[in-house]
Structures are given as C-alpha cells and as structure tokens.
Amino acid sequence: MTAGTAGAAHTQRIREFKMPDVGEGLTEAEILKWYVKAGDTVADGQVVCEVETAKAAVELPIPYDGVVHALHFDEGTTVDVGTVIIAVDTDPGAGPVGEAPGEAAAPAEEDDAEPQGRQAVLVGYGAAPSSTKRRARKQRPGVPAQSEPVTAGLQAELNGHSAPAPAATPVAVPVAPAAPAAVVPAAERPLAKPPVRKLAKDLGIDLATVVPTGPGGVVTRDDVYAAAAPAEAAVPAAPEVAVPTAVAPVAAFDAARERRVPVKGVRKATAQAMVASAFTAPHVTEFITVDVTRTMKLVQELKQDPDLAGLRVNPLLLVAKAFLVAIKRHPEVNAAWDEATQEIVYKDYVNLGIAAATPRGLLVPNIKDAGAKTLPQLATELGELVATAREGKTSPAAMSGGTVTITNVGVFGVDTGTPILNPGESAILAVGAIKLQPWVHKGKVKPRHVTTLALSFDHRLIDGELGSKLLADIAAILERPKRLITWG
C-alpha cells in the first residue's frame, strides 16, 4: 500500500467531530459533561456530551458508528466553534490505529468525514453550515500562485510592517512595489472573530494595521491590545474619554475566606446583556399598587374548571393575559429600536418572555405569538416553558425574538423592583408579592389581596403617557378580571 493510499484509508477510518455552530451567532461553548470515554462504542445519533453556550445547555449527538478513539478536551473546557472535540474509529475491526504517513507534519484539512448532505445537529434544531478555515483565493489569470509565507510577507508590507523571515525553502516570486493600503482587494480583509472586531472598533484600531498572531492569520485580542498600546502612549486620551484596557482586580481582604468562580456561559451572557441594555436604552419605571382580590378568586374558580384540568393555573397566568390584552389596546408599545437604520420597528405579534431563575443563571425564554393564544393554550405553554428552563434544556431559539417580558419577583416575597429591559425589547413588567393588606373597599377598610406592579420601558419607543396607560390598563384588568372578556 502506498503512503498516499494509507493516508487516505486512515482519514476515512478516523472521523473527527467538531464543535457545531448552532446558528445563533455563538462562537464558543463549554463542555459540561462527557457521556462517553475512549474505547466506548457509539452509534449514529447517540448523545456523547453536554455543552453550555452563552444561551443554554444542549446535548450533542455523534453522527458516526464506531469506537471512541480520543476525547480532545476535558470537562469544563471552553472550546471554539469549529474545533474538533472527539474522534471516532469507524472500523475498529481493522486492528490498531496507526499514524498515517505525514500525519504528524500536516494538520487535518476540512472534516470531510461528515456524510454527504448531512450536518451535525444539536438536539431540537439544525446546525448552520460553517467553517473556521480561510477560503482559498481565486488565482487571477497571468499571475503566478504565491506560497503562504510570501503572501503573508506581502500583506505585512502592505500594512506597513516588516515582512516575516522566509521559510527554509523560499519561493522566488517577483513582488511589485508596495502599494497604498487603499488598493488592497476585498479578499485581504483581516480575519478576526466578532468580539475581536468589536474590541478593535471600541479602541479605535484599524484591523488592517494589526499584525495577526493567531492560527491561520487570525487577529486575536492580544494583537489588538498590542496595536493599541503604542497609540495610547503617543496620544494620551482625554480624561472624559478614557477607555481602560484592563480592569484592576478586586482587592482581597481575607483571601482564605473568599471564593472565586469564573463568569461564563449563561451568567456571563446575561451580565453582558444587562450592561448593554442599561446603558443603551433610556429606562423609565412606573409603579402602581392594585387590589387583586377578584383575580385571586378567579384563579381558584379556574382551577376547578374541567377545561383547564391538569394545567398550571396561577396568578401569573392571569397577569400574563392582562399584559397581552393591555398591549392589544396599545399596540404602539410593542416595538423595537433599530439603531443601524434609525427606525422604529412596530410588531404585529407578541412574543412574551418569562424570566426564570435556574441553577445556571437567569433565562428568559418566550412564548411565540402569545397574543393569539387562548387561556388554556397560554397555560400549557407557560408551564412547559418554565419547566424546561429550570431543567436547563431551553434551546437558544426559544430565547430569541422576544418583544416584552414578565418577571415575577413576588415568588421571593419581594414587593416590587425596577427591572432592566431585555436587549431589543420595549417593556418588562415586574409582579410583586400578593399580600393581604388593609384596603379601602366600598367605603370600608377591609383586608384585601394587594400587589404592586412595576413597568420599565424604553423611553425612545414609549413616552410617559403611553407607558402610564399601558400600566393602568394592566392594573384595571387585574382589579376587575371580567375586563378580560369586555376588552379582550
């Protein structure tokens, strides 16, 4: 068997499975748990590990039959999308796996072990086809092909840097005099991940001037910081525009009695989203205290209704319905601000988010087209949504596309709060604890079930009058729930 034939056979035998792209703009995931180990037999479609992205925890099935050859990462490791995480020997009966000729010197090319027409999928949704490798450039007629070192050297010179040292066997290619950066073709656009591009934009660094040190010529965060350091030294930033490149660590008073937990996954994504929302959308919060005694009586009656048998009926269900009816009366509140086009996007559907506390952090899945659902349908989806979130099985798709949200802080005994908007949403309603309180009812002070509602909204979309009318209508419905019929 020739060396080429042996290498091809080895490539066909060992199938490598990469961390898939879930199609939600995520670039990495943490391996939470391996369900298999080296030497275990696996079958096509078998779940081999659980990973946590910035949005949810999902299980990954393997698309091959065979025996696990190697696990490339330990549990708790964060891996970039497109990186090989597990290798499977698809022909274990052929004897021990040997290293293919030239394998150690040449890294694996694109994962052509994937069956034709098939893509690795996460449980519950498909994976977007993607590749982390750079696409081959088209050769122009009459121009000789350049080796990678020569191309890198030419690009470095065009960017104003000295060319890297030539390889052991240089390729003689005539190089034209350096041209201005403006004539660099579009194909020479620097390679960098979206977070790195944002960092460069925030620091005012042109990626075309940054020397890449990452694999395959990818610009890394350290490259951007290195490019920013000389500029900061040469041109001191004005006091009011100071952008720190590093945050001072928290001082320790007694390190022996302190714990440090890395911020990652859902909690990290939530923190970033809340900071972005708080300092992007101008928040306004209004409050109203309301007598919900009639609503509480209706909840008890609905629990006995045969049409709702087996469904989860609670005050949150009627609060959600009241919110949806109030939005129907004031549809202008259901909108989004498009900063890129400077437009307000009004939406004729309501995707109602429900904030759920989970062991991995706060999740806000939403009920799609909630405004079009009947009360039994709303009760069914609300129960499934909360249960799935608490199990940590919520898919990224279930948490995207929300328009408004409800957060029930009353379950913790809290009277109310000033909730922060989910990015891209127009309003969020906080429901406080429902308590028996002295209340004037029909001219007499009586114990009544009372709660306080707080509505935060984006003041770019909703002015004070509109926000006040929305909150007042929610309270009016909860005070007299028969308005669900007359207003709905």
Higher pLDDT, 162 or 457: 457
Give the residue from 419, 418, 424, 429 showing the smallest Cα distance to 461.
424
Higher pLDDT, 278 or 181: 278
pLDDT reported for residue 272: 78
- Angle at CA 11, nearest 5°, toward 10 and 16? 120
Measured CA to CA, the distance from residue 391 to residue 129 in angstroms comes to 28
Arithmetic mean of pLDDT, 281-301: 96
Average pLDDT in the chain: 78
Question: Rounded to whole angstroms, what are the CA distances from 409 to 121, 277, 286, 419, 478?
Answer: 36, 20, 16, 10, 17
Strand partners, 346: 335
Reported as a pLDDT band with limits 50, 70 and 90, residue 357 is confident
Measured CA to CA, the distance from residue 479 to residue 319 in angstroms comes to 11
Arithmetic mean of pLDDT, 132-157: 44
DSSP string, 351-380: -EEE-EEETTEEE--EETTGGG--HHHHHH
The conformational region for residue 247 under phi > 0 = left, psi -120 to 50 = alpha, else beta, is beta
Reported as a pLDDT band with limits 50, 70 and 90, residue 241 is very low
Q: First-to-last CA distance in the chain?
A: 77
Q: Is the pLDDT of residue 162 over 80?
A: no
Measured CA to CA, the distance from residue 373 to residue 228 in angstroms comes to 53
Q: Give the torsion sign (CA, 104, 106, 110, 116).
A: negative
pLDDT reported for residue 196: 78
Give the residue from 453, 451, 470 showing the smallest Cα distance to 461.
470
Confirm whether 441 is a catalytic residue: no
Question: Rounded to whole angstroms, what are the CA distances from 262 to 58, 259, 266, 460?
Answer: 20, 10, 12, 35
How would you classify the pairing of strands 84-89 and 14-18?
Answer: antiparallel
Measured CA to CA, the distance from residue 157 to residue 153 in angstroms comes to 6
Per the structure block, which two tokens stand in for 250? 């928290």
Arithmetic mean of pLDDT, 285-312: 95
Which amino acid is residue 386, in one-letter code? V
Contact partners, residue 41, CB within 8 Å, separation at least 6: 66, 67, 68
Percent share of the chain, pLDDT over 70: 72
Q: What is the pLDDT of residues 20-57, one digit of tens each?
A: 875 555 678 888 889 999 989 999 889 999 887 766 77
Per the structure block, which two tokens stand in for 3? 């060396």
Give the residue from 63, 64, 36 showing the smallest Cα distance to 50.
36
Return the minimum-mean-pLDDT range out of 4-8, 166-170, 462-466: 166-170
Reported as a pLDDT band with limits 50, 70 and 90, residue 302 is very high
- The residue length of the chain stands at 488
Strand partners, 87: 16, 70
Local structure of residue 400 (DSSP, 8 states): S
Q: Is the pLDDT of residue 292 over 70?
A: yes
Measured CA to CA, the distance from residue 326 to residue 484 in angstroms comes to 9
- Angle at CA 336, nearest 5°, toward 333 and 338? 150
pLDDT reported for residue 200: 79
Per the structure block, which two tokens stand in for 4? 């080429």
Sorted by where each starts, the structural domains of the chain and their CATH numbers stand as 3-94 (2.40.50.100), 188-232 (4.10.320.10), 267-486 (3.30.559.10)
Measured CA to CA, the distance from residue 40 to residue 43 in angstroms comes to 10
Measured CA to CA, the distance from residue 167 to residue 148 in angstroms comes to 10
Q: Is the pLDDT of residue 168 over 50?
A: no
Which of 72, 161, 283, 459 is catalytic? The answer is 459
Write the burial class of residue 386 (CB in 10 Å: 0-12 exposed, 13-18 middle, 19+ buried): buried
Give the residue from 283, 378, 387, 386 showing the smallest Cα distance to 324.
378
Measured CA to CA, the distance from residue 405 to residue 110 in angstroms comes to 42
CB 113 within 8 A of CB 10: no
Measured CA to CA, the distance from residue 376 to residue 256 in angstroms comes to 53
pLDDT reported for residue 25: 57
pTM, two decimal places: 0.56
- Which residue is it, tokens 């656009």? 189
DSSP-based three-state secondary structure for 439: strand
Q: What is the pLDDT of residues 428-485, one digit of tens each?
A: 999 999 999 999 999 999 999 999 999 999 999 999 999 999 999 999 999 999 999 9
Q: What is the pLDDT of residues 182-238, one digit of tens each?
A: 333 444 677 877 777 778 787 888 888 888 888 878 888 888 888 877 554 454 544
Measured CA to CA, the distance from residue 361 to residue 56 in angstroms comes to 10
Q: Is the pLDDT of residue 412 over 50?
A: yes
Half-sphere exposure of 261 (CA within 13 A, CB side): 6
Measured CA to CA, the distance from residue 49 to residue 46 in angstroms comes to 9
Largest Cα–Cα separation, the chain: 99
Give the residue from 439, 461, 464 showing the smallest Cα distance to 450.
439
Q: What is the pLDDT of residues 83-127, one digit of tens each?
A: 999 999 988 887 776 654 444 434 444 444 444 444 444 333 333
Q: What is the pLDDT of residues 242-267, one digit of tens each?
A: 444 556 677 777 788 888 878 777 66
pLDDT reported for residue 119: 42
Higher pLDDT, 345 or 272: 345
Q: Is the pLDDT of residue 367 over 50?
A: yes
Q: What is the pLDDT of residues 52-62, one digit of tens each?
A: 776 677 888 99
CB 205 within 8 A of CB 197: no
Reported as a pLDDT band with limits 50, 70 and 90, residue 286 is very high
